[in-house]
Amino acid sequence: IRPTNGFHESRVTKHESRFFMGFTHLFVAFFRSGYRARVPQLLSLLLAVLGAAVSSAQTDSQGIEFFEKKIRPVLTEHCYACHSAKTQAMAELRLDSKAGLAMGGSRGPAIVPGSPETSLLIKAISYRDPDLKMPPTGRLGAEQIEDFTAWVRMGAPDPRTDEAPPSTAPVSIDIEEGRRFWSFQPIRDSLPPSVQRSGWPLNEVDNFILAALESKGLSPAAPAGKRTLLRRVTFDLTGLPPTPKEIGDFLADDSPRAFRNVVERLLASPHYGERWARHWLDLVRYAETNGHEFDNDKLDAWRYRDYVIRAFNDDLPYDEFMREQIAGDLLDRPRLTPGGSSLASPVGTGIYWFGEVLNSATDSVKARADQVDNQIDVIGKAFLGLTVACARCHDHKFDPIPTADYYALAGVMHSTDIREAVVDSPEREREIAGWAARLAGTNGKIHELLAPVPERLAARLASDLTRAADLVVGEDGYLSAEADSLHIARANQLRRALQDPSHPFHPLIRIAQSIATGEAADFARAVEMVKAEIRQRSVKAASRRNDIEFEDFEKPGFPSWIVSGQAFAGGARYRPAPDLPLAAYRAEGVADSYRNGSDTFVGSLTSRKFRMPRRWLHVRLAGRGGNLVRTRLSDVRLTLVADSYKSKAFVPTGADSFEWQSAQLTTQFDRLCYFELVDRSRKGHIIVDRIVLSDSKEPPGDGPVDARVSSLLERKDIRSSGGLADAYRKLFDTVVRQQPGDRGADPLFAAVNPFPSREQAAVILPESERVQLRELQRVRARMAKSIPESSFAMSSRDEAPRDVRIHLRGNHKNLGKEVPRGFLRIISSPPAGKTSNGSGRLHVARQLARPGNPLPARVMVNRIWKHHFGEGIVRSTDNFGITGQPPTHPALLDYLAKRFIDSGWSIKAMHRLMLSSRTYRMSARSAPQAQAVDPENRLLHHMPVRRLEAEIIRDSLLAVSGSLDPALYGPSVTPHISEHQDGRGKPPRPGPLDGKSRRSLYIGVRRNFLTPLFLAFDYPLPISTIGRRNTSTVPSQALMMMNNEFVALEARRWAGRMLRDEPDRSGRIQSMFLRAFARPPSEDERREVSAFLRQQANRYDGAGIDDPRCWADLAHVLINSTEFIFIR
């Protein structure tokens, strides 16, 4: 399928056209020659080899930034002491200048730009040669070696001048002088210039463009055809191809507002938010896993993605968008999601946490500093277009950003931490709290109904204990039919007591066991034996274990924890809900998510941060778990987070009593840690009694048996098991009578009830009262079903606000002066950007989004311009500093920025302004004269031809095949991972091949398993801000489009749909071309397609032309054409 003539006019795409058209003809030749069988091994080899082809090189500014952040600090710290002008330059090698590196020393040049394999520097730092190992004090880290290798491979960009060696004396940055640079200047009120062709401009944008062209004697390109224009703007605003109906409607509309109407329709489409959210996600290195060894999930990351989609669809003012992402959890009046059930603003603060996370950092302080550096890098580039992170080790070499300003921001980041939190709106919180109160009232009635139960159980305790003991130790005991459940429950209680020396009934059942097994000859000897065991345990309990009781939840409320959601609201609990199955509960204070008798409540508790002082962790907990499938972390758990990594999780097993769980802290010892107690499940709960840090492998004991019980063994008047049982009855009768409020304050009180829950003991009540109980239980169950759902999100919180000290040369072990938290002085309003309130994020948000800050508006309108016109007015979209590129149209940039602010920071208003220009409506044809004068199209004399991004190529396949599921929002779909892909962190079950037909935006971004089709088409690695994707042209892309399973699947689906919906063969061809290219086929193309279908039918053993396989082959060919993946 040949591209149109206009498509060939663009010099930029000839090379790409040859690649794709060549492989399309190769694909056709495969079928014509009869070689239809796939050869997976050969294709895998080709993909592996060709996929390694180098894509377009880094821009100069990116290379310089890489040097400043990754290379210069290491050279300064490890090399200058021996290889600089200030020293002897050992081996005649200087590494403190660009020329010194190129010249090398006695062994020759230190580097060969572009070839790390032959560079002596890489050989030396890699320690491959036993005679050449540098630095001699020890091998650099693997990541540092990889950085040097990448730097040499990209050509070893080095901004250092060679006239003089770098000075080690501090040089202060002149902030006022720095403000003279164009990007730090206030936004000017630029007036549209006058032009000679006064009839050409449709709006002010055109005046700026045309004036620049006329100054060079150039004319703008002719207008694009309506089909081309519609396809261009539809992809630009929604990332989907126009439908045949949309094409027909636009062609039929001859009104002057026809194109404006299209723009308004597309801006109103929910798919607009999806398209532009993906642009934003590139800026924030969006990913849903941590990467590295285990590639664990970032819980609720997808909510940030949905937050961004909604923000674009709702045209959220950009200044508010910025404030929410910096400090959305701190705003006085946070924004709500549609429907008002949850808070939107705090979700924006997830921007901080999409970076990679080490599983077990060897140096937690450095790991945190690196995380903060990544946060500063992203915030600086995404919002300001500044490489702020280059000031980590020294004052910025080019921009007016002192190191002190970097650490002022670093203090803000160090005072901020991640939080797995409920983000319910105040109204939703009140609604859930209201249901909790109603449940509490119902449970109060149940407690009243059960009030007589303890006395009745205590009155018959002697006989019940005797019969249950007989059952436990193996002797036959008489169990009446009506008492079976009670006696079985008491027997189960005694079995637990036998294993728990601190249980009140342990002495009784232990004595019965020793007599029954012959361990003791009679009752007296059994008593002495048990008393000896009690003394021994008391001595052991008194011995010093050096444990740290991190938490026992005995204090009212949760003074050392942050509460989120309703599950843990109200503080620690001292009396369980009447239906909670928790045997042997002894009035301990607990963190209990089973609030008021329902699993439906969700929430979290987050502890303070601390440095882990012990090597063992013991947790006493109970409950039942939730879902383990989606996140590989239970929905109900206590998590130890070490250096931001969820390293240990304690999950209740479903047992009806407390149990100890222990974990050895091999990699967590001495790390910065905190606990998260989380209940996200509406079908489970968790109860935590104690969290103990220890050097002992064994969990702490539960203490000696109650003194009142052990005193019974000292009584001489008790001479038999029956006598001991009766003594228990009298003791517990006293305990119950002294406890009329049923508060559970006496630890012996709970042991009266043998059942796991209070309500189960109602078997002892009369039938009339049990009827009342069952009705109350039904009422409670109905209430529980009415409790609305809560939403969790990955958000931020202030954590121990503090200033930090400058890390000299970026080394956290070499500290300088302390710097107050604050913002960049170069763009701060007085006072000089300092803050003393909380983390300082709210102060940063206000400074960032104030109208007087010239950078955010310029940077954002430049990003919008870039996505509509192929290149930004400032082509270095993420670098508005001195090493970035200057604007091609500075007055236009300021005009747009001012209009942006004046419009209320409306992004959609910017779209309308840019898209309504005649500049946007130009064709992609370039006149020879204009090409000679403006070969890079910096003056924008024609519209550029642009390739679709990786995700949009996939979305287009789904759209033309009719498979696309247009649903918005929701958890991500697990990516499809073939059996040939392997690695750490691989999900237990791969996602479907078609991703459930959802848009690519909703395919989970797993760092260790990025979609191969995406990577082939330059999908950016989620490491830092990428405002301008590379656009490479390599053979592996054509091979991917020819042989990818998903592409083949959608080709078959497209063919099947066409055969169903279009009975006429000619109409079928017409429809396929319209869907793929927004144009009908030419007569030549019709003839070629018809001939192709006949030949394919012959290849399929004489099948008819309407055989689905023939049409699937045609669909595959159309998909493989250049025109399918480019817009003109």
DSSP of 234-289: HHHHHSSPPPHHHHHHHHH--STTHHHHHHHHHHHSHHHHHHHHHHHHHHTT--SB
Structure tokens at 44: 């895998």
- Give the pLDDT score at 89: 64
pLDDT for residue 981 is more than 90: no
Q: For the chain, give the mean pLDDT.
A: 88
Pull the structure tokens for residue 416: 């901020």
CA angle centred on 872, ends 869 and 876, rounded to 5° = 150
Residue 19 pLDDT: 38
Please give the CATH architecture assigned to the domain spanning 553-694: Sandwich (2.60)
pLDDT at 14 over 60: no
The answer to whether residues 418 and 577 touch, using CB atoms and an 8 Å cutoff, is no
Instruction: Give the pair of three-digit tokens for residue 953.
Output: 């190529």
Long-range (24+ apart) CB contacts under 8 A made by 846-851 are: 846/323, 847/823, 848/322, 848/323, 848/326, 848/383, 848/384, 848/823, 849/319, 849/320, 849/322, 849/323, 851/319, 851/901
Distance from C-alpha of 567 to C-alpha of 600, rounded to nearest angstrom:
8
Tell me 483's DSSP state. G
Q: What pLDDT does 544 receive?
A: 65
For residue 584, the model assigns a pLDDT of 73
Residue 1037: is its pLDDT beyond 50? yes
Which is it for the CA torsion 477, 481, 487, 488, positive or negative?
A: positive
pLDDT in the model for residue 24: 43
H-helix or E-strand spanning residue 375: helix 364-379
The whole-number pLDDT of residue 832 equals 52
The number of C-alpha atoms within 13 Å of 721 and in the hemisphere containing its C-beta is 24
Give the pLDDT of residue 108. 81
Q: Per-residue pLDDT for 213 more than 80?
A: yes
- In the numeric block, the tokens 């369980």 are attached to 576
SS3 402: coil
Q: Which of 85-89, 114-118, 358-362, 840-844 has the lowest mean pLDDT?
A: 85-89
Q: How far apart are CA 734 and CA 697, in angstroms?
A: 39
- The residue among 1019 and 556 whose pLDDT is bigger is 1019
Report the pLDDT value the prediction gives residue 20, as an integer from 0 to 100: 41
Q: Which amino acid is at 753?
A: N
Instruction: State residue 1068 phi and psi, 5-degree precision.
Output: -65, -45
**How many percent of the chain have pLDDT more than 90?**
72
Residues 1096-1115 have pLDDT tens digits of 999 998 788 999 999 999 99
SS3 (DSSP) at 522: coil
CA–CA separation, 356 and 295 (whole Å): 9
Give the Cα separation of 126 and 110 in Å (integer).
Answer: 14
Q: What average pLDDT score do residues 683-699 get?
A: 94
- What is the DSSP track for 791-806? -EEEEEEE-S---EEE
Q: What is the pLDDT of residue 1005?
A: 97
3-state secondary structure of 673: strand
- Greatest CA separation found in the chain? 119
Determine the Cα–Cα distance for residues 569 and 558; give it in Å rounded to an integer: 9
Q: Three-state DSSP class for 223?
A: strand
Cα–Cα distance list, 92 to 85, 100, 882 (Å)? 10, 9, 33
Q: Is residue 37 scored above 50 in pLDDT? A: no
Peptide bond into 135 cis (omega under 30): yes
Mean pLDDT (whole number) for 620-626: 86
What crossing angle do the helices spanning 1045-1061 and 950-961 adopt, rounded to 10°? 30
Question: Band of the pLDDT at 631, cuts 50, 70, 90?
Answer: very low
Rounded to whole angstroms, how far apart are CA atoms 78 and 57?
A: 28
Give residue limits of the domains in the chain: 5-55+1041-1127, 60-169, 276-424+796-889, 453-545+706-764, 553-694
The pLDDT tens digits for 1051-1086 are: 999 999 999 999 999 999 999 999 999 999 999 999
Give pLDDT tens digits for 717-745: 999 999 999 999 999 999 988 875 544 46
pLDDT of residue 742: 45
Would the pLDDT of 519 be above 70? yes
Quick check: 506 pLDDT over 60? yes
Say what the pLDDT of residue 55 is. Answer: 37
CA atoms within 13 A on the CB side of 436: 20
Spatial CA neighbour of 865 closest among 924, 935, 938 = 938
Pairing of strands 561-565, 815-819: unpaired
Mean pLDDT of 134-144: 80
Mean of pLDDT values over 799-809: 94
The CA distance from 12 to 989, in Å, is 42
Mean pLDDT for 131-136 is 81
Instruction: Report whether pLDDT(903) > 70.
Output: yes
> In sequence order, what DSSP letters do the residues of 99-139 get, joined into one string?
HHHHH-BTTB-S--TT-GGG-HHHHHHHT-BTTB-SSTT-P
Res 88: pLDDT: 56
Q: Which amino acid is at 668?
A: Q
- In three-state form (DSSP H/G/I as H, E/B as E, the rest C), the secondary structure along 605-655 is EEECCEECCCCEEEEEEEEECCCCCCCCCCCEEEEEEECCEEEEEECCCCC
Which pLDDT band, with edges at 50, 70 and 90, does 645 fall under?
confident
pTM, two decimals, is 0.86
Q: Give the pLDDT confidence score for residue 56 in this predicted structure.
A: 38
Paired tokens of 615: 């090597």
User: How far apart (Å, rounded) are the C-alpha atoms in residues 74 and 140?
Assistant: 9
pLDDT value at residue 86: 66
End-to-end CA distance of the chain: 17
Distance CA 134, CA 144 (A): 13
- How many other CB atoms are there within 10 angstroms of residue 340's CB atom? 11
Query: CA torsion, points 889, 891, 894, 896, in degrees to nearest 10?
Result: -70
pLDDT of residue 576: 86
